């Protein structure tokens, strides 16, 4: 490299170094170019960022507005659905006004049982977490009591050690020592010992307070639990009384319907009403979008659980006792009050009393698929409610004038019955 004189403003010269290495020169020129580009970019980028942020804010406002509009639309659709179903139910009630006085009394009794059973179920659901909470509190109290014993033993050991050190006061221990190093060491040990003893006492006091709090909480939880159990007993007693009244009415009703011709006529009428209801529901639900699910219902054939724990009577497509009418579903024999679960995600399309099926829930699973749960003791969901797979929607009963307890279960596609045994293969435990 060598020096080069370059003229500057004012007639002065300054000495600069000229690079001999051409690669270095190229690199220098590139570095200068990069700096120019970096400068232009640094000027352009903030403007671009601001523009991008404004565009994102505008887009997000449109998205939020659209989501809000969609939410309002879904609520409007839900309201309209419930109005359509309500109108349909009123129409069915008018068609069923030919019910006898006994049938009306049975329906009223079963609906009263449903109200009582719903409260009974709710109280049962509250008792379970209370029992769990009480168990955890007792466990916590036991652990704190054991820890207290350990901490008390440690504190006792420290006090004994303190006694062993000497019966003289702190100042006397210092004055009795002649060596400054010994005095310093004793002071340090004494401070450590006092801190440890203070911490131990604090731990003991804390555990004592925790035990007091635990006992208070246990007392409150126990009282709440006892109140709920008493309430449950009263509700159970009331339920049993209503059930006895209903059973008396059902016996009279069955005595009133002795002939097979009358039974057959009722079965045919009930079947026709159910078909009409399902077709009307399908029409009403066609315009209501089904919420997205992980797997379409059609892909779950053979992988579903039965809706209730019990013995499945596979009656589908078998002739009923009066003849000329076939079963369109199966019966699951179970203990009264057994929870009824959904077999898949869906929306409650119908949840009310229907002659021949008692308290019945119908769920729309999309793509024309529906599941039906009849003869329930009580219903826990309303029309329009979205339910998840395995969610409890009812309890098993004998509504609809049945003598024995059992859940009637159907699956339909586009209104036509499908064999439930081909869909449900897993027993519920």
Delimit the domains of the chain by residue range: 2-76, 124-252, 260-426
CA 85 to chain centroid, in Å, comes to 27
At residue 39, the 3 state secondary structure works out as helix
* pLDDT value of position 84: 73
**234 Cβ neighbours under 8 A, 6+ residues apart:** none
For the domain spanning 124-252, the CATH number is 1.10.287
- Say how far apart CA 410 and CA 329 lie, in whole Å: 4
At residue 264, the 3 state secondary structure works out as helix
Report yes or no: 360 and 281 within 8 Å, Cβ to Cβ: no
pTM, 2 dp: 0.64
* pLDDT value of position 72: 45
Report yes or no: 1 and 7 within 8 Å, Cβ to Cβ: no
Q: Write down the architecture of domain 260-426 according to CATH.
A: Distorted Sandwich (2.70)
**Beta-bridge partners for 339:** 395
- Helices marked H in 166-179 — which ranges? 170-175
Report yes or no: 375 and 307 within 8 Å, Cβ to Cβ: no
At residue 116, the 3 state secondary structure works out as helix
Do strands 424-426 and 304-305 pair parallel, antiparallel, or not at all (unpaired)?
Answer: parallel
Residue matched to tokens 């699973």: 365
**366 Cβ neighbours under 8 A, 6+ residues apart:** 290, 293, 296, 297, 346
Q: Which two tokens stand for residue 177?
A: 């020592």
At residue 68, the 3 state secondary structure works out as helix
- Say how far apart CA 152 and CA 201 lie, in whole Å: 8
Helix (H) or strand (E) holding 369: strand 369-379
CA separation, residue 292 to residues 78, 227, 242, 296, 345 (Å): 16, 42, 42, 9, 9
Report yes or no: 345 and 292 within 8 Å, Cβ to Cβ: no
CA angle 361, 363, 369 (to 5 degrees): 135
Q: Which two tokens stand for residue 69?
A: 């509009």
For the chain, 429 residues long, the average pLDDT of each consecutive 10-residue run is 44 41 45 48 48 52 45 60 73 63 84 88 85 83 79 70 55 56 61 69 78 84 85 86 87 74 83 87 73 80 96 93 87 95 93 92 93 96 91 95 93 95 93
Instruction: Choose among 80, 66, 87: nearest CA to 289.
Output: 80
Report yes or no: 55 and 63 within 8 Å, Cβ to Cβ: no
């Amino acid at each position: 490299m060598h020096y080069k004189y370059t003229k500057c403003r004012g007639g002065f010269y300054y000495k600069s170094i000229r690079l001999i290495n051409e690669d270095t020169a190229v690199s220098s020129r590139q570095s200068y170019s990069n700096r120019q580009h970096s400068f232009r970019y640094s000027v352009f980028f903030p403007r671009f960022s601001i523009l991008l942020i404004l565009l994102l804010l505008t887009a997000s406002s449109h998205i939020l507005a659209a989501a809000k509009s969609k939410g309002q639309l879904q609520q409007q659709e839900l309201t309209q659905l419930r109005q359509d179903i309500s109108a349909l139910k009123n129409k069915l009630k008018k068609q069923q006004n030919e019910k006898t006085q006994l049938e009306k009394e049975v329906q009223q009794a079963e609906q009263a049982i449903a109200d009582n059973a719903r409260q009974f179920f709710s109280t049962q659901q509250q008792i379970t977490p209370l029992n769990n909470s009480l168990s955890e509190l007792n466990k916590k109290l036991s652990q704190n009591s054991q820890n207290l014993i350990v901490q008390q033993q440690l504190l006792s050991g420290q006090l004994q050690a303190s006694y062993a050190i000497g019966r003289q006061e702190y100042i006397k221990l210092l004055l009795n020592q002649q060596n400054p190093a010994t005095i310093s060491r004793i002071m340090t040990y004494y401070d450590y010992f006092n801190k440890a003893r203070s911490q131990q006492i604090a731990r003991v006091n804390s555990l004592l307070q925790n035990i007091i709090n635990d006992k208070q909480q246990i007392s409150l939880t126990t009282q709440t639990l006892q109140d709920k159990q008493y309430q449950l007993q009263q509700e159970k007693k009331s339920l049993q009384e209503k059930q006895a009244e209903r059973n008396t009415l059902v016996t009279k009703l069955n005595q009133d319907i002795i002939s097979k011709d009358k039974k057959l006529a009722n079965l045919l009428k009930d079947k026709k009403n159910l078909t009409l209801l399902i077709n009307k529901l399908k029409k009403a639900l066609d315009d209501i979008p089904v919420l997205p699910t992980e797997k379409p219902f059609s892909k779950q054939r053979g992988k579903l659980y039965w809706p209730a724990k019990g013995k499945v009577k596979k009656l589908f497509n078998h002739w009923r006792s009066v003849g000329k009418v076939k079963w369109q579903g199966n019966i699951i024999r179970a203990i009264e009050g057994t929870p009824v679960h959904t077999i898949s995600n869906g929306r409650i399309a119908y949840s009310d009393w229907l002659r021949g099926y008692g308290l019945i829930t119908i769920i729309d699973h999309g793509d024309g698929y529906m599941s039906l749960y009849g003869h329930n003791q009580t219903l826990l969901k309303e029309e329009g409610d979205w339910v998840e797979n395995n969610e409890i929607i009812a309890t098993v009963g004998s509504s609809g004038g049945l003598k024995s307890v059992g859940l009637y279960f159907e699956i339909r596609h586009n209104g036509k019955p499908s064999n439930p045994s081909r869909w449900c293969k897993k027993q519920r435990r």
